[in-house]
Amino acid sequence: QWARLRRCPWAAGAAAGAALVLILAGALALRGRGAAAAPPAPAQAGQTGGVEAGRGSQTDQTGQTARAAMAAAGAPPAAAATPGPGAARAGLRVPSGFRAAPGAEAEPYTGTGWAREVVHETTGIAMVYIPAGSFTMGSPETEAGRRSDERQHGVTLTRGFYMGQCEVTQGQWERVMGSNPSKFKGAGLDAPVEMVSWDDCQAFCRKLGEGFRLPTEAEWEYACRAGTATALYTGSLTILGKCNAPDLDPIAWYSGNSGVTYAGGTDTSGWAEKQYPHDRAGTHPVGKKQPNPWGLYDMVGNVWERCQDWYGVYPSGAVKDPAGPREGAFRVIRGGSYGDFPERCRSDDRLGRGLPASGILGCRVVRTVP
């Protein structure tokens, strides 16, 4: 046959051409099969926000701000794609015992598919996904109201987690524990629970189920800052008087807007229970003030929030997933309260106290995820 082809040059050319056509056709077929097998690119999810299940879902008014905050915190940006109707909900991941909040889509930071907001099916506790990232913990020496225990240091959190969108309310506590120990019951079931000890909060988390706990101090400050580096998550803090800080009014219930009357007007300890009659001030329903860029309400003011850690001296260098000292005399509390002076309501303010229960102390829970 090869001899015949040699005698007919035109036939050899035709055969070569046919072979080339077959090769090209095969390559195109393989390419087509490969394209069909490739998974679709992940779609960028939007963000929603809701104070709790019974109130419905509120669209996140700062979606772009949240993504910018995550970039500042060291988390990867979301893929730039626009999903079709319902596309982002198809692959949502939610922790056991939760459902996705109405209108919730996948968190846009990591591509892991966790729902941006979830609601605990038993209690109605709404939680927001907080992605892993890095930040500077503590305060600069020039910050107004700074204290000596706020040495700045780098912190990296390697795992994301869910955090309560609001402080645990009296109603949520009662549904889980069967009683309401709060001093300010008149504020309503939507007001934060107080008069709960650290051990009470541990028992509450155990009853909620696997994965629930108090936040570490580092997790708390990271979530409170939401990618910011200022005294407040809205910017700097200007203190005009012991109970006067207009910067706080939009985001916090504190001594300047909670009807607090201090007996002497000179005690700056911040422990309101020793300084004014309780019938003149108290807690307020959660979720009424402006949230931070990640959709968390009342991170400062209203009630102090208990953390998991023992109180101790900050490390001098960068750390990863810190959990505080192994032992200590006091547990950390964060955020300030309705009865505190402005400097106690900074994102980086911290306090160690051994009070077992108090009308200015509550909690906010987190949920660990894989």
pLDDT, residue 89, reads 52
* Farthest CA pair distance, the chain: 117
Residue 28: how many other CB atoms lie within 10 Å: 10
pLDDT of 235 > 80? The answer is yes
Contact 239, 231 (CB under 8 A): no
Write out pLDDT tens, residues 28-68: 343 433 333 333 333 333 333 334 443 434 434 434 444 45
pLDDT of 232 > 90? The answer is yes
Strongest mean pLDDT among 112-116, 141-145, 155-159, 354-358:
155-159
What phi and psi values does residue 11 have, to the nearest 5 degrees? -70, -40
Give the Cα separation of 144 and 166 in Å (integer).
27
Tell me what the pLDDT averaged over the chain comes to.
79
Cα four-point dihedral sign 216, 217, 218, 221:
positive
- The stretch 275-281 carries a mean pLDDT of 49
Give the Cα separation of 253 and 345 in Å (integer).
9
pLDDT grade, residue 76 (50/70/90)?
Answer: very low
pLDDT, residue 77, reads 35
Burial, 319: exposed, middle or buried (Cβ in 10 Å; 0-12, 13-18, 19+)? middle
| 361-362 sheet: strands from edge to edge | 350-353, 331-334, 304-310, 361-362
pLDDT, residue 58, reads 41
Write out pLDDT tens, residues 119-174: 999 999 999 999 999 999 999 999 999 999 999 999 999 999 999 999 999 999 99
Q: What angle do CA 314, 316, 319 make, to 5 degrees?
A: 80
What is the fold of 106-369? paralog of FGE (formylglycine-generating enzyme) (3.90.1580)
Write out pLDDT tens, residues 160-211: 999 999 999 999 999 999 999 999 999 999 999 999 999 999 999 999 999 9
pLDDT of 348 > 60? The answer is yes
- Please report, in angstroms and rounded to a whole number, the separation of the first and last CA atoms in the chain: 67
> Using the 8-state DSSP alphabet, how is residue 186 labeled?
G
Residue 306: how many other CB atoms lie within 10 Å: 26
For residue 212, what are the β-bridge partners?
367
Interaxial angle between packed helices 170-177 and 198-208, expressed in degrees from 0 to 180 and rounded to the nearest 10: 70
Give the Cα separation of 81 and 101 in Å (integer).
22
For residue 136, what are the β-bridge partners?
154
Give the Cα separation of 54 and 93 in Å (integer).
22
- Residue 62, token pair as written in the block: 């700062």
- Please name the helix (run of DSSP H) or strand (run of DSSP E) that holds residue 154, with its range, or none: strand 153-157
Residue extents of the structural domains in the chain: 106-369
